[in-house]
Amino acid sequence: MNAELSQKQRRFNVDEVRAEFPILNQAVNGHALVYLDNAATSQKPQAVIDALVHYYQCDNSNVHRGAHALADRATAAFENARASVASAINSPEAKQLIWTRGTTEAINLVAYSWGRANLKAGDEVLVSALEHHSNIVPWQLICEAVGAKLKAIPVSAKGELDLEAYQAMLSDKVKFVSVAHVSNALGSINPIEQMIALAHEVGALVLIDGAQGLAHFDVDVQALDCDFYAFSGHKVFGPTGIGGLWGKKALLESMPPWQGGGEMIETVSFDGTTFNQLPYKFEAGTPDIAGVIALGAAFNYLKQFDRRELLAHESELLAYCIEKSKAIDGLVRVGEAQHCASVFSFIVKGTHPADIGTLLDQQGVAVRTGHHCVQPLMQNFNIPGTVRASFSIYNSKADVDALFAALDKVLSFLR
């Protein structure tokens, strides 16, 4: 680590970090909140909340088109946030980062812009059997529209992608591969570097659904050599309703706009329209200015830390959770991938996940239950859903202890 970098970073301390997330300092149903639903959405540090408030209190204005001080300040903050986030993922240029409402919209943008322009009857698109619905349905729709075929890469009983099957599925018919960096339901970390390289060997493009990836580790889009990387701000300590799509410059420049309106145009007449340059070609209408600025603040917050320290902390929590779970009779962990992010999905024999979640909430423990928007994966495991506890940087072993103490009480009631 060079001297400049070390001066910007601070040693990780979970108690100090926890104190910077004000929502955690509350009681729920008479118990101290134990928030373990981070894979759904992360909580926000005070710095992010302050950035939102400051924009609305001091700089509220539309961007790019104003001729006054508020517009100038808002535009500067908006584009500085783009530069900050683009730098964090090692984008060659900031204009390769397109603001979207989140991962879902980013995937839809690629499916409808690149897919409609390039896919044709007989082509194949590969996703995996562990994908979130947001990385299945857009491809189903576009494949149905153009006559292409959508295929699913198999998943093992441990929740790992079958790489041999994936390699066998690749052919010159495959034009696009879209896979998750990390499974939202199981935490499985997919071997995306290898998958990208294999896809490129047959001429296929690759989109990585990074909704769960950026939440846990640094992402270098150039090192990955992915063609697109999609993410959501609210899973990485930023606001809801904002996210991004990174793409290789030549691809983005070749793709047609997918929404029309203000900002994305160069000239408009009734004889025809010419379109703006990147990134604005894909950013029709007034953007979520406050959300963008606050997302920039979230990435700046993370810059304080060595992400390897944060990942080590989360990994320690997961290992502690797995060990504690062994004492619970009838508890079955769902998904045991060798490489796994800090997600612990489980069922308890003879109980329903929804009942467990409801009763945990009565004791102040927030988890997620259900199919987690991965119904094909749950069908693959022949279960209706799971209980999912997911950990972030502000969680501690005390939170894990609280989870299992509450679970003991829940099971004593249900059994």
* Catalytic residue IDs: 373
Query: What sign has the CA pseudo-torsion 92, 94, 98, 103?
Result: positive
Quote the CA–CA distance of 107 and 359 in Å, as a whole number: 36
Taking each helix axis from N to C terminus, what angle separates 69-88 and 289-302, rounded to the nearest 10 degrees? 40
For 74, half-sphere exposure in the C-beta direction (CA atoms, 13 angstrom radius) is: 25
Helix (H, G, I), strand (E, B) or coil at 174: strand
- What is the DSSP-derived secondary structure letter of residue 155? B
The answer to whether residues 131 and 179 touch, using CB atoms and an 8 Å cutoff, is: yes
How, if at all, do strands 97-100 and 149-153 pair? Answer: unpaired
Quote the CA–CA distance of 2 and 386 in Å, as a whole number: 44
- What is the DSSP-derived secondary structure letter of residue 252? H
Strand-pair partners of 250: none
Residue 149, amino acid: K
Quote the CA–CA distance of 215 and 231 in Å, as a whole number: 9
